[in-house]
Structure 1
Amino acid sequence: MEHCELPRRPGRLDRLRQALPRLFPFLGWWPQVNRRTFKADLWAGLTGAVIVLPQGVAFAAIAGLPPEYGLYAAMVPVVVAALFGSSFHLISGPTTTASLVIFANVSQLAAPGTAEYLHLVLALTLLAGVVKLGLGLARLGGMVNFVSHSVVTGFMAGAAILIATSQLGHFFGLALPRGGSFLETWGALLGQLSAANPWVVAVGAATLACAVVIRRINPRAPALLLAMVAGSLLSLALDGPAHGIALVGALPASLPPLSLPWFDLDTLRTLVPGAVAVAMLGLAEAVSIARAVATRSGQAIDNSQEFIGQGLANIVGSFFSAYATSGSFTRTGVNYDAGGKTPLAAVFSSGFLAAILLLVAPLTAYLPIASMAGVILLVAAGLISVPAIRHIVRTDRGEAGVLAATFLATLFVELQFAIYAGVILSLLLYLRRTSHPHFITLAPDPASPHRALVNIRRSPQAECPQLKILRLDGSIFFGAVNHIAEELHRIVAQSPEQCHILILGSGINFIDAGGCHMLFHEAGAMKLSGREIFFCSLKSEVMELLRRGGCLARIGAGNVFKDKSTAISGIVARLDPERCACCHLRVFDECRARPGGEDVE
C-alpha cells in the first residue's frame, strides 16, 4: 500500500535561509560576482577613490570640519550602505547638501573646527541614522514613490548644472567666490573670464578630451581614470605649478579613528530637528539618485532597503569619525560610467581610498585639480537625460511643468527644497486629475456587432431621444463630488428631453462617504424633477458602500443593473411608448419591440 507523503513544514533552518537575504542583502547579489564583474568593479572602485579625494576635502570644509573628516566619511559608511542597500551602483559618502545642512544646524551651537563642534556633528549623524533606519524598518520607503520620474529628471538636470558650475573655477584657473548662488557664480565667471589661466584650461580640456576619445575607442576602458593620469603627466611635462596649475596636494596618511558620539537630553532636543532634516533630505537624495541610475541600468530598487542601508551607514559611520552621508551624484555617475557592476565597486572604492592615504598619499599631490574638474564636467553632462526630457515634454504638459519647476528650483532655490517643490507640484497635479473625472457620452454604433457603445465625440452616432448614456471615468470621493455634480447638471441642462440617464460605473474604482452623500442627493433631486438615474457595471466594493450608506435605497434597487446590456433592455421597456412610436432613430435592438418598431426593417 502506497502512502501519500505530506508536504514537509519549513523548519527553522529553512526559515533562516529565507530570512538571511532580507537581513543581509549582499547575500542576494554575491552569487552574481564573477571574474568579469570583479575586474569591472575593481577599475570603477579605483576611479571612484581618486574622484573622492578632492571632493571629500572640499565637503569637509563646507561642513566646518578638518579636511580629513571628509575622507573618513568616504570610507566606512560607503561599505555599509553598499552592503545593506539595494542599488548596485549607488555610492554614498559626503555630499554638498548634507555638508551645508550640518553646518547650518551645528554652527549655531558651537564654533566650527572645535572639539565640541565635532562631537555635535557626530551626535547629529547618529540621530539622523536612527531616523533613516526607523523609516526603513517601518517599510515606509513607498513614500518616495511620490517623487515622480519628472521630478527626478528635472532634479538630476539641475544638479548636473550645479555640479558643472562648481567646477568652472577649477577648470579655468579662476578664484570664484565660494558658497555663491548659481547666478552669482556665473556672474563672477563671466566677469573674470578674460583672466583665465590658459595653462590650467589646457590641462582641464586635455583631460576632458582624452576621456571622450577613450570612451569612443573603447567604451569598456577606465576612461576617467586614464584621462586623469594623462592630465597629471601633461601637468608634469608643462611644469604645472610654475604656470599656476593647482594640485590636489599631499593628504594625511591615517585611517578613520574610533569615536563615541554622545549627547545629553538638552542637546538631544536641540539636535533632533536638524537630524530629521538631514535624514529626510539624505533619503530623498539617495533614493532619487538610485532610481535615476536604475532607469539606465534596468535594476529594480527597494526604497525601504535603501533607507535601512543609509541609516546603518550613518549609525556605524558616526563611530568611525564620519559625518552624515548620503548618495553622491558625482560618484554614482562615475561608478556607473566607469563600468561598475555590483556593490563591490563601492567596497573597492573605500579600500583604495584607504590604501591611497596609507601608501601613496604623496603621489596624489601631483594630480591637477583642473583634471578633476574636466572629468567631473563630463560626468555632469551624462546626468542630463535629453531623451527623457524630450519624452516628458512631448507626452504631458503637466509633467513637463513639474520637470521645469523642479529644474529651476534646483538652480535658484536651496537644494533641499527642490525635490519637495517637485513632489508638491506632482501631488497637486495628481489631485487635480483625480478630482476632475470625466463623463463620456456613449451611443450604440449600428455598424458594429450587437451595436456596441462608442464615444460619440470620436465616432458621432445618434442618441436615444429619451435615454442619455454616460460613462464616468474616475472615482467618486470628497475631492471630486462637486465637479461630478456640476458636470451632471450641465449635461442634464443641455439635454432636457432625455429624461433618463444611465451611468456606466466600470471606471469607478471606489466611492467614499462624501460621494455616497452626493449620489443620494442627486438621485432624490432627479426624481423630484421627473427624471430617473440608472447605474450598471458597478464594482462589488462600490455596491457595498452604496448599500451601507442608504444610497442604493434612494436610487432604487430596480435602477441598478449588473451590466450594460441588461440595463438597456430594462430601461428601454420603461421608456414613454408614445415618444417611441414617433421615433425613427431606433438606436437600440430592443427598439424593434416598442410601438412603431415593427415598421422599421
Structure 2
Amino acid sequence: MSYKNYLPKFHRETLVSDLSAGLTLAFVSIPISMAYALLAGVDPIYGIYTAMLTVIIGSLAASSSLMIVTISDEVALVVASSVGALGGDVTQGLVTLTLLVGLLQFATGQLKMGSLVRFISAEVMSGFIAAVGLSLVISQLAKFTGYKSTVILPYISDSIIQGIDIITHPSLWDLPTFLVGLVTIVVLILFKWSRLKRYGNLLAMVIISAMVALLGLTTVKLTGSIAPISGGLPKPVLPNPMLIPDLILPALAILILTSIQTVGVGSAYPNPDGKRTNRSKNFSAQGLANIGGSIFTALPAGGSFTRTGVNIESGGKTRWSGVFSGIFVIVIFLLIPQMFEKVPMSGLAAILIALGSTIIINEWSNIVLAWKSSNIYRYAMLLTFVVGVGFSIEYAVFAGAILSLLIYAFTTHKDIMLEELVLLDDGRYQERSLPDEFPTNKCTVIEVKGLDYFAVAYLLEEQMPSIENTTCAVIILNLHDRKYLGTNVVVWMNEFARKLHESGNLLMLAEVEDSIKKQLERTGVLEEIGSKNVFMASSIVNDSIREAALSANKWIKANKIQ
C-alpha cells in the first residue's frame, strides 16, 4: 500500500475554507496554548510547541475529522502537580510524561478499549468538571494579582490555601498587574458579545500587550521574563526512563482525562460526511500525536472541546483545517518569535480565570440536576469536587473512576430481582413475587433480572426460595437475551442443580443461547443439569419456556408423590 493511501483526500472546493479556519485557529491557539503551559508550571513556549506537530498528527490520524488534539486545562493541572514535583530538569520530565501518555493512549486504541469510558458516571464528571473550573481560577490568582503567597498546610492543596490568602490580602497585590488582568477580562467580555468573539483571546492579548508597553508598566511581568523566546524549532530532548515510576500515575490520570475528552468531542462534533466516529481510532490518534509531539517538547494532549469548536465555527470543512493550523503556528513562530515575549502574564492568567468561570457556568445545570437526583449521586459528585479542589485534579480522576465503579455496582445490585413467571389463559406470562418456599409437585418459572452483575451469584442464593421441604418440583430459569454467564453464576448453577437433584427436584434452563450452552458444556455444568433439560432460544419469544414447562409437567406427573 502506498503512503498516499494513509493521507486524507484533498478537495479543492474546501481549500479556502480550511485555510481560513486553520489561520484563525492558529492565532486563537497561540495565546491559549501559552496560558495552558503557564498553568502547567512550565515555560509558555512549550504550549506553542504543542500547537504544532501534535495538532498536525492528530488531525491526520483521528477518526473525528474536525477534532483538534492539543493541550487542555485539565491536563495542564495534572502536569503542574507532577512534572514540577520531580525537581531537576523539568523539560526532560515533560518529554518523558508526554511520550508515556502517548504510548498508553496508542495501546488503549489498539486494544479497542474505547468503550470503557462510558463507565464514568455523569454525576462524577460534573463534580470533576466543577473542580477543574474552580482550580483553574484559584491557581491563577497569584499571576493575576502579582502577589505570590507562601502559606502551606499539610495534606491540603497549596493552591487553595494560597488562593484564600491572596483573596484576603488585597493590600499586598501589585496594582498595575491586577489592573492589566482586570482590563483583559473586560475586553474578553466585550468581544464575547461582538462579531469578533472567535478572535477575542488573540485581540485581548494584542490590546493589553500594547497597553503595558505604552504605559511603561515595569512591575507587570511578561512571558519573556520566564525565558527568552528564540526563533527556530525546538531541539529534541531524550526522555529519561528513570522518571517513569514517578510519572506513571500522572500518565494514567491524563489517559483517563483525554479519553473522556475525546469521546465527548467525537459525540459533540460528528463528522460532516456522516461517517461514524471510531473511538478506539481516536485514542490511537491521540497517542501518535503525543509520541510525535514529545519530539517537539510538547505538553500531553487530547481532544479539545474549545479548539474543535473554534475550528468548526471558523469554517473548517475537513481534517486539513487542523493540519493547516499546525503549519501556520510553525510559520508564525519562525518569522516573528519575539512577539510572544511581550504578553503580560496577568493577561494570560485572566484568560484562564475567564475560562474556569465559563466551565463552571456551563456545567451548572448538570450540577443542579445531579444534586437533585439522589443521595448517592449527590455525594459522589461532591466527593469528586472536594478531592479535586482540596487535594489535586490527579487524585480526583482516580477518585471519580473508583466512585463510578462503586455506583455501577451498587445500582446494579439494586436492579437484581427474581420474579415468578405465571402462564395466563391467553398465553401471556405474568410476573409475580416468588414464594418463600418452592411448592411441591409444581413447575416454577423464574425470571432473573440483572444477571450481568458479577456478584449476582450471592444474591441469587439469598433471594431464591427454600427447597428444604420441597420435593418433585421443577425450577425453570429463564436466560432470555443472555450471551454469557459469569464464572460465579456458573458455579452457583452447578451447585443449585446438584442440591435440587439430591432433594428429588429438577433444574431446567430455558431461552438458552448457543454461547451459554457451550459455556456450560465446557465447564461440566451441562452434565449436572442434563442436556435434555436445556431448551434453546428461538426467534419466537418465550417459546422455549412453554416447551420447558410441558417437559417439566411430564416429569412431575411421572415422579409425583401422592
- Report the TM-score range of the alignment, normalised by the length of the smaller protein: 0.7 to 0.9
Q: Deviations over 1:437-491 (max 9, x none)?
A: 3212333566xxx24223347xxxxx9994543201233787432221221146x
**Counterparts in 2 of 1:266-305, with a 5 A limit?**
268=241, 270-274=242-246, 276-277=248-249, 279-298=251-270, 302-305=278-281
Check 1:390–1:531 CA distance in 2 against 1; reply closer, same or farther (3 A cut): farther
Cα distance in 2 for residues equivalent to 1:54 and 1:530: 75
Equivalent residue for 2:489, pick from 505, 508, 515? 515
- Aligned partner of 1:537 in structure 2 is 511
SS across alignment from 1:537: strand
Structure 2 counterpart of 1:442, one-letter code? L
What is the Cα deviation at residue 285 of structure 1?
3.0
**Counterparts in 2 of 1:338-417, with a 5 A limit?**
339=314, 341=316, 346-347=322-323, 349-364=325-340, 367-384=343-360, 385-390=363-368, 401-417=379-395
- Aligned partner of 2:300 in structure 1 is 325
Cα distance in 2 for residues equivalent to 1:361 and 1:411: 36
Cα distance in 1 for residues equivalent to 2:334 and 2:164: 41
Cα distance in 1 for residues equivalent to 2:32 and 2:344: 12
Cα distance in 2 for residues equivalent to 1:377 and 1:330: 17
- Aligned partner of 1:587 in structure 2 is none
What is the Cα deviation at residue 49 of structure 1?
0.9
- Please tell me whether the aligned partners of residues 472 and 556 of structure 2 are also in contact (alpha carbons under 8 angstroms): no
Equivalent residue for 2:26, pick from 45, 50, 69? 45
Q: Deviations over 1:366-387 (max 9, x none)?
A: 5444443333233223434334
What is the Cα deviation at residue 349 of structure 1?
5.0
SS across alignment from 2:387: helix
Q: TM-score, normalised by structure 1?
A: 0.71
Q: Deviations over 1:37-66 (max 9, x none)?
A: 54334223211112223443564xx35xx6
With 413-422 and 202-211 compared, the bigger mean Cα shift is at 202-211
Cα distance in 2 for residues equivalent to 1:137 and 1:220: 39
Does residue 187 of the first structure (1) align with residue 150 of the second (2)? Answer: no
Cα distance in 1 for residues equivalent to 2:315 and 2:121: 26
Look at both structures and tell me which one has the larger radius of gyration over its CA atoms. 1
What is the Cα deviation at residue 519 of structure 1?
2.0
What is the Cα deviation at residue 537 of structure 1?
1.7
What percentage of aligned pairs have identical amino acids? 20
- Aligned partner of 2:448 in structure 1 is 472
Structure 1 counterpart of 2:451, one-letter code? S
What is the Cα deviation at residue 35 of structure 1?
3.5
What is the Cα deviation at residue 226 of structure 1?
3.7
Check 1:452–1:135 CA distance in 2 against 1; reply closer, same or farther (3 A cut): closer
**Counterparts in 2 of 1:94-173, with a 5 A limit?**
95-98=76-79, 100-105=81-86, 107=87, 111-112=88-89, 122=95, 129-130=102-103, 132-134=105-107, 136-137=109-110, 139=112, 141=114, 144=117, 146-147=119-120, 149-173=122-146
Cα distance in 1 for residues equivalent to 2:85 and 2:359: 28
Higher relative contact order (CA 8 A, sep 6+): 2
Structure 1 counterpart of 2:356, one-letter code? A
Give unpaired runs (5+ residues) of structure 1: 1-15, 458-462, 580-601
- Please tell me whether the aligned partners of residues 510 and 542 of structure 1 are also in contact (alpha carbons under 8 angstroms): yes
Check 1:292–1:127 CA distance in 2 against 1; reply closer, same or farther (3 A cut): closer
- Aligned partner of 1:546 in structure 2 is 520
- What is the Cα-based RMSD across aligned positions, in Å? 4.6
With 158-167 and 76-85 compared, the bigger mean Cα shift is at 76-85
- Please tell me whether the aligned partners of residues 158 and 407 of structure 1 are also in contact (alpha carbons under 8 angstroms): yes
Give unpaired runs (5+ residues) of structure 2: 434-438, 537-543
- Please tell me whether the aligned partners of residues 95 and 326 of structure 1 are also in contact (alpha carbons under 8 angstroms): no
Q: Deviations over 1:244-276 (max 9, x none)?
A: 5554457523122433638xxxx64x2443464
- Aligned partner of 1:589 in structure 2 is none
**Counterparts in 2 of 1:174-323, with a 5 A limit?**
174-177=147-150, 181-193=158-170, 195-196=172-173, 203-218=180-195, 221-232=198-209, 239=215, 241=217, 245-249=220-224, 252-259=229-236, 261=238, 268=241, 270-274=242-246, 276-277=248-249, 279-298=251-270, 302-320=278-296, 322=297
Structure 1 counterpart of 2:459, one-letter code? H
Structure 2 counterpart of 1:413, one-letter code? F
What is the Cα deviation at residue 217 of structure 1?
4.7
What is the Cα deviation at residue 523 of structure 1?
2.4
SS across alignment from 1:95: helix
Q: Deviations over 1:401-427 (max 9, x none)?
A: 544443333223333332222223333
- Please tell me whether the aligned partners of residues 48 and 335 of structure 1 are also in contact (alpha carbons under 8 angstroms): no
